Amino acid sequence: MTTYLIRGARPYGGEAADILLEDGRIAAIGRQLPATGAEVVEAGGLVALPGLVDLHTHLREPGREDAETVETGSRAAARGGFTAVHAMANTDPVADTAGVVEQVWRLGQEAGLVDVVPVGAVTVGLKGERLAELGAMADSAARVRVFSDDGHCVADPALMRRALEYVKAFDGVVAQHAEEPRLTVGAQMHEGDRSARLGLTGWPAAAEEAIIARDVLLAGHVGARLHVCHVSTAGSVEILRWAKSRGVQVTAEVTPHHLLLTDACAESYDPVFKVNPPLRTDADVEALRAGLADGTIDAVATDHAPHAVEDKESEWAQARPGMLGLEQALSVVVETMVETGLLDWAGVADRMSVRPAAIGRLQKHGRPLAEGEPANLLLLDPATRASVDPAASASRSRNSPYAGRELPGRVVATFLRGTPTVLDGKATR
Ligand SMILES: NC(=O)N[C@@H](CC(=O)O)C(=O)O
Ligand SMILES: [Zn+2]
Ligand SMILES: [Zn+2]
């Protein structure tokens, strides 16, 4: 196994240091380490961070390999600086058995670009009728700890309560897609002045907030862990803040697109901006940034949702919701959180690596950059600004909401257990 000496990088944006990677671990961090026998990676000016961990990725395999595969999605993840991603269960077949989650886990190991951690469905076929084999998925080779019907809400409160009770046995967590379905029938965009003017059916903030309020009460009552997917409204942040102050074991994520974009994007009627939950208002964006800064929102998660051209390039109402996120996530966080002074680099590491790894109970990710730790890390050039070109994406899909937008930060290298998955900005395999 090749030994790497990263020369002159700035861990967490601090003082420059050399980082020696040997046998999958960080063997040493210090000034002017000898390069004997090591491959040297010049990293002057680059920020070193722990490898990012995504709690929410759609890889589309099995079933929609024309939109993404475990391998292509893993490559996009590595290029974004990720070393682990949680693969959502809304595949075809649904990841609701030990067999399917083990298949996804194995495909991830074979691709070898990031650790692909399968999420198990909460209910059979995501139908919201009866619980899936949660225990069997937890005991499988995939060791599932995060369960979600994402794409659908576990709307039945009794079923949600039972799921929360069940996952407690193996320290699992239910990740809820908070959307009261009776309030979002036919919904196309955020419900407000704009939806009325554009003539598109609205998706009210209350549909999200009502489920979060219900679920934090349930989680508190049964003493189980709840995670809230893609929080999108100011009201949701307030409910989470209240629940945390009461000691409820709740965590939450925000997507890069909800930190940057608003419902103004819908004015274009370009379905690339159609997403669930929808892009909200400026006031919501501000509250989400503040909630992420003060830790009420624990993590940034991409909700990377690749879609084939025929599912996206249609009329707004016919298009599927969802947008790409893995490759630009860190850049969007740099723009919205670092350049605004809301987070420092240690804060970015906390929200994009440490906390998501803790929520998913991953032992070998989200670890500090320190001697003896697993060599999962990334090198970022924070100064470079470039315009996003969807054609250059490693994803099999092209539905990036950032096309043509200039964003800061370029991931120069990613290392998974001491082996580069990305070097000079290019995937190594
Ligand atoms: N976010 C989306 O708009 N779409 C996701 C499902 C989801 O995250 O709810 C998808 O699977 O395409
Ligand atoms: Zn969702
Ligand atoms: Zn999703």
Contact (Cβ atoms closer than 8 angstroms) between residue 143 and residue 115: no
- Is residue 396 in some structural domain? no
Predicted confidence (pLDDT) per residue in 98-112, tens digit: 999 999 999 999 999
Residue position matching structure tokens 């257990």: 417
Q: Would you state the pLDDT for residue 298? A: 99
Residue in this structure with the two tokens 């099999």, named with its chain if needed: 396
Predicted confidence at residue 26, as pLDDT, reads: 98
How many residues comprise the chain?
A: 429
80 and 115 assigned to the same domain: yes
Q: Residue 10 sits in a domain of what CATH number?
A: 2.30.40.10
Percentage of residues of the chain with pLDDT beyond 70: 100
Give me the CATH number covering residue 149.
3.20.20.140
Beta-strand relationship, 377-387 and 406-416 = antiparallel
What residues make up the domain containing 9? 4-47+373-390+405-427
Among 58, 154, 265, which residue has the most ligand 1 atoms within 8 Å of its CB, making it the best to mutate? 58
Angle value at C-alpha 51, between 97 and 396, nearest 5 degrees? 60
Please indicate, yes or no, whether residues 35 and 69 belong to a single structural domain of this protein: no
Q: Are 3 and 39 in contact (CB under 8 A)?
A: yes
182 and 40 together in one domain: no
Which is nearest to 264 in space by CA: 215, 166, 195, 181?
195
Strand pairing partners for 50?
Answer: 377
Instruction: Return the ligand number nearest the Cα of 151.
Output: 1
Residue for token pair 């002159």: 8
Task: Give residue 213's pLDDT.
Answer: 99
Please list, in sequence order, all residues whose beta carbon lies within 8 angstroms of the beta carbon of residue 56, skipping any fewer than 6 positions away. 86, 88, 150, 175, 229, 230, 253, 255, 301, 302, 303, 304
Decide if 397 is inside a domain.
Answer: no
Residue 249 class from Cβ within 10 Å (0-12 exposed, 13-18 middle, 19+ buried)?
middle
Task: Name the β-bridge partners of 174.
Answer: 147, 226
Give residue 12 CA to ligand 2 midpoint distance, Å.
31
Indicate the DSSP class of residue 388. B
Residue with CA nearest ligand 1 atom 7: 151
Give yes or no: residues 383 and 300 share one domain: no
Provide the 8-state DSSP code for 2. -
Q: Which atom of ligand 1 is nearest to the CA of 58?
A: 11
pLDDT for 190 equals 98
Same domain, 14 and 159: no
Please give the chain's pLDDT, 429 residues, in tens. 899 999 999 999 999 999 999 999 999 999 999 999 999 999 999 999 999 999 999 999 999 999 999 999 999 999 999 999 999 999 999 999 999 999 999 999 999 999 999 999 999 999 999 999 999 999 999 999 999 999 999 999 999 999 999 999 999 999 999 999 999 999 999 999 999 999 999 999 999 999 999 999 999 999 999 999 999 999 999 999 999 999 999 999 999 999 999 999 999 999 999 999 999 999 999 999 999 999 999 999 999 999 999 999 999 999 999 999 999 999 999 999 999 999 999 999 999 999 999 999 999 999 999 999 999 999 999 999 999 999 999 999 999 999 999 999 999 999 999 999 999 999 999
Asked if residue 325 and residue 220 are part of one domain, the reply reads: yes
**ipTM strictly over 0.95?**
yes
User: In this predicted structure, what is the pLDDT of residue 355?
Assistant: 99
Number of domains within the chain? 2
Question: Is 303 a known active-site residue?
Answer: yes
Task: Return the pLDDT at 199.
Answer: 97
Atom 8 in ligand 1: which residue has the minimum CA distance? 151
Give residues (CB < 6 A) around ligand 1. Answer: 58, 90, 150-151, 177, 275-276, 303, 305, 321-322
* Amino acid (one-letter) located at 26: I
Whole-angstrom distance, CA of residue 413 vs CA of residue 380: 7
Task: Give the Cα separation of 175 and 86 in Å (integer).
Answer: 11
Per-residue model confidence as pLDDT tens digits over 327-364: 999 999 999 999 999 999 999 999 999 999 999 999 99
Q: Compute the distance from residue 277 Cα to the ligand 2 centre, in Å.
A: 7
